[in-house]
């Protein structure tokens, strides 16, 4: 009898939204090692809910890895990736206890995402650190009598609406550079969402481009006056939330030749990293298209199929990105969850379906393959 064939070893670098889902798909057919600076899935989704209703957000977007049934077959390493050696096919990691590890791979998935504001940071964090971060931002905003939200993307718009809904006595103003916010969505989305913001009393201020203070990485709530390069008077608020989309790819651990001029990972349409063999990238870190949209378009499924095809010597398929952003902008509200299609048209999950169908069946069972209750 011949010895059983060794299973390929797949290292998933970064267990956020895309890396985690990729690991779940591959756990049945490969020995998967997931490396993460956090001991949990801490989703990059729904900033507005996170800031205003942290318990609701944590229930749906922050899950310890031990709660995910599909990860039972994945070895997770809580640590920081510090290097990739293509010649020896290994990654270097410093784990949470400070030990230096070397993890060999047959296939590597790069999914270390981006840093954005104070809510998405790549550094090593424990559960207690995550809890502190979550509460600190919420408490600071809860105590503010006025909040200026700077930015015109989904994070800014969602924050403004949720802040105004949760704290109706707080003056919330949204400042954005163009005539309309959400410029990467279909224009219908802003038409719908701006009416919702106005109904909640959010002050809308188009044509405002903020001067970012020298040396400020937009990674904290501030209290200093905000100046505008577009000429308006300075604005003062008890709290200023910077959500200007200043994302920085978490690629400091990678060789420079794998990166484009902005530091994102260069990939071919089938998600292979250019100039490598058996190295793939997915999610916000991967320069797939101008919107780097592979996370929200669930390219994790295609990636898992392509990795299996690569290992079997079969042809790989391409990722085809939609031209416009789509998805939820405002998060779950009292009347349900509105999701905007690329055409700008909205479809709504009614409120009663969120906790009976959407979360338990579609998200937890369907997408994440079973999530245990918290212990």
Ligand X SMILES: Cc1cc2nc3c(=O)[nH]c(=O)nc-3n(C[C@H](O)[C@H](O)[C@H](O)COP(=O)(O)OP(=O)(O)OC[C@H]3O[C@@H](n4cnc5c(N)ncnc54)[C@H](O)[C@@H]3O)c2cc1C
The site for ligand X (CB under 6 A) is made up of 14-19, 21, 35-38, 42-45, 80-81, 111-113, 120, 122, 154, 250, 253, 283-285, 295-296, 327-328, 367
Identify which of residues 101 and 142 has a Cβ nearer to ligand X in the complex: 101
* Least distance to ligand X, CB of residue 93, Å: 7
Identify which of residues 8 and 283 has a Cβ nearer to ligand X in the complex: 283
Q: Are 241 and 108 in contact (CB under 8 A)?
A: no
Q: Are 218 and 248 in contact (CB under 8 A)?
A: no
* Least distance to ligand X, CB of residue 209, Å: 22
Identify which of residues 16 and 54 has a Cβ nearer to ligand X in the complex: 16
* Least distance to ligand X, CB of residue 299, Å: 9
Spatial CA neighbour of 65 closest among 24, 102, 99? 24
Report the distance separating Cα 331 and Cα 297, nearest Å.
17
* Least distance to ligand X, CB of residue 236, Å: 30
Spatial CA neighbour of 167 closest among 142, 138, 199? 142
Q: Are 264 and 249 in contact (CB under 8 A)?
A: yes
Report the distance separating Cα 83 and Cα 69, nearest Å.
29
Residue nearest to ligand X (CB): 16
201-205: long-range contacts (C-beta < 8 A, 24 or more apart)?
A: 201/164, 201/168, 201/171, 201/172, 202/160, 202/161, 202/164, 202/172, 202/173, 202/174, 203/171, 203/172, 203/173, 203/174, 204/173, 204/174, 205/173, 205/174, 205/175, 205/176
Identify which of residues 113 and 117 has a Cβ nearer to ligand X in the complex: 113
Identify which of residues 57 and 253 has a Cβ nearer to ligand X in the complex: 253
Spatial CA neighbour of 154 closest among 316, 339, 302, 17? 339
* Least distance to ligand X, CB of residue 7, Å: 23
* Least distance to ligand X, CB of residue 322, Å: 12
């Amino acid at each position: 009898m011949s010895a059983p064939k060794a299973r390929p070893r797949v290292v998933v670098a970064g267990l956020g939204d895309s890396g985690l889902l990729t690991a779940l798909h591959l756990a049945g057919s490969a020995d998967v090692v997931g490396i993460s600076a956090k001991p949990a899935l801490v989703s990059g989704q729904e900033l507005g809910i996170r800031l205003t209703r942290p318990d609701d957000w944590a229930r749906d977007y922050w899950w310890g890895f031990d709660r995910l049934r599909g990860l039972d077959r994945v070895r997770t390493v809580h640590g920081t990736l510090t290097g990739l050696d293509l010649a020896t096919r290994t990654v270097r990691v410093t784990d949470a206890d400070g030990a230096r590890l070397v993890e060999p791979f047959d296939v590597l998935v790069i999914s270390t995402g981006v840093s954005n504001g104070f809510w998405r940071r790549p550094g090593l964090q424990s559960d207690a650190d995550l809890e502190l971060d979550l509460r600190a931002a919420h408490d600071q905003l809860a105590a503010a009598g006025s909040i200026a939200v700077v930015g015109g993307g989904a994070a800014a718009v969602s924050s403004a609406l949720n802040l105004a809904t949760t704290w109706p006595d707080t003056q919330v103003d949204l400042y954005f550079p163009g005539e309309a916010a959400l410029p990467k969505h279909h224009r219908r989305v802003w038409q719908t969402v701006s009416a919702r913001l106005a109904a909640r009393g959010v002050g809308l201020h188009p044509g405002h481009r903020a001067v970012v203070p020298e040396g400020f990485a937009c990674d904290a709530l501030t209290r200093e006056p905000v100046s505008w390069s577009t000429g308006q008077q300075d604005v003062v608020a008890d709290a200023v939330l910077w959500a200007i989309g200043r994302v920085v790819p978490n690629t400091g651990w990678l060789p420079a030749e794998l990166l484009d001029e902005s530091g994102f990972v260069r990939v071919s349409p089938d998600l292979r990293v250019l100039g490598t063999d058996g190295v793939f990238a997915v999610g916000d870190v991967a320069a797939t298209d101008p919107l780097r949209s592979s996370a929200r378009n669930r390219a994790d499924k295609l990636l898992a199929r392509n990795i299996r095809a690569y290992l079997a010597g079969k042809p790989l398929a391409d990722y085809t990105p939609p031209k416009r952003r789509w998805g939820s902008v405002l998060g779950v509200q009292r009347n349900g969850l509105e999701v905007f299609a690329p055409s700008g048209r909205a479809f709504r999950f009614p409120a009663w379906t969120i906790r009976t169908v959407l979360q338990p069946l579609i998200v937890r069972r369907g997408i994440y393959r079973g999530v245990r209750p918290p212990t």
